[in-house]
Amino acid sequence: NGYELLRDYAKGFRIGAATNTIHYSNSNYIEAMKSFNYMVAENGCKFVSIQGTKGKFNFNDCDNHLKKAKELGMAFRGHALIWHAMAPQWIEHEDSNTMKQSIINHVTTVLKHYEGKIDAWDVVNEAIDDGSNGNGWKFRNSFLYQKVPDFIDIAFKTAREVSPNTKLFYNDYNTEAIWAKSESVYQFVADMKKRNIPIDGVGLQYHVGINVQPQFNKIDNLISRYCKLGVEVHITELDVSCDDNCNDYDGGEGKQSQVYTNALKACLNNSCCTGFLVWGIGDNDSWRGAENKPLLFDSNYKPKGQYNTILNILKNT
C-alpha cells in the first residue's frame, strides 16, 4: 500500500486503533487498519450493543470486530463493561438490588463469552466527576452511583472472580496530567489498590487538542507514578483536535505531531505503559469531526504527517 506499517516497528509494543464494523466494507479502511497490531471496538462491545434487551445477549457486533482482529493478526482490547453512557434504558429504571444483579450478570456473561480471547477490558468507564479538584475525588453522580454506590468495587471483584487472567482496567478522560481531575483519578486508583480491589491497569483516554496539551515531563511523571503503584497504563483513545490552527496539521512537525510525540515517548519511557491506541482510523470517521483532523490517517485513509512522526519514534526506539 506504499507506506511502512507501524506494527512492523512496534517490537512487541501494542500500537492500536479503535475501529467500527460500519467501515469494514471499505478496502482502504482495512488497509489502514493493517498498520496496527491492537484493536478496540469504538462502539461494538458496549453494554447497549451487547445487552440492549435485558437478558438477551447479542454478541454479533463485538464478535465481528474480534473476528477481523484475528484475521489481521491483531490483539484485542475490550471496551467497556460498565459505563453510565451507552447503557440500555432498561437498566436505568431498575431498583438498587436488581441493578446490582444486572451489573454482576453483564460482567459475568461478557467476560465468560470472551474468555481467552480478550486479555484486557475496561471494566468501568468514566466514573469520576469532572469537577474533582485533585484533593481526593468525587464520584460522578450517575444513575449507577445513585442506585449502587459501590458499583465499581462490585464490577472489578466480579470480573476478577469470573476471569482471573483478564487484565482489569479503569478508563477515563481528562486524566493526562493537564486537569486537576487527573490527580483525582490517580488517587482513586491508588485507593483501589490500597483496599485490594482487583485492578490491573488504568486507561488514559487522551482526547486533547493542540491548544491545551499535556507536557512531556508531566505525563511522563504521571505514568511513572502509576507504575510505582503497580498498575499498567494504556493510552486508550488518543486523538488531537487541531482546534483553530488546522493548517498546521499535516507536516509532521506541527503542534499536533508534538502531542502525538509526547504521548508516545512518555508511554515508551515507562515499562508499565503497555498499550497505545488512537480513537479511530481516518479523520472523517472521528467523533471529533473531520474538520479537526484529529487522527493519523486523512479522510481517504492516506497516512498524514503525524503517522510518520509515530513511525519514526517506533523505528528509533
Catalytic residue ranges:
237
- The footprint of ligand G3I on residues 90-129 (CB under 6 A) is 125
**Binding of ligand G3I at residue 42 (CB under 6 A)?**
yes
**Binding of ligand G3I at residue 61 (CB under 6 A)?**
no
Nearest distance from residue 171's CB to ligand G3I, in Å? 7
The site string for ligand G3I over 133-172 (x = CB under 6 A, - otherwise) reads ----------------------------------------
**Binding of ligand G3I at residue 86 (CB under 6 A)?**
yes
Q: Look up cell 515517548; give the residue.
A: 265
Q: Vertex 265, ends 46 and 307: CA angle to 5°?
A: 70
Three-state DSSP class for residue 241: strand
List phi, psi (to 5°) of 245.
-130, 50
Applying CB under 6 A, what is the total number of residues that bind ligand G3I? 9
- Choosing from 246, 287, 290, 313, the residue that interacts with ligand G3I (CB under 6 A) is 287
Three-state DSSP class for residue 154: helix
Nearest distance from residue 3's CB to ligand G3I, in Å? 25
Neighbours of 154 (CB within 10 A): 18
Nearest distance from residue 141's CB to ligand G3I, in Å? 18
**Binding of ligand G3I at residue 176 (CB under 6 A)?**
no
Contact positions vs ligand G3I (CB under 6 A): 42-43, 85-86, 125, 173, 205, 237, 287
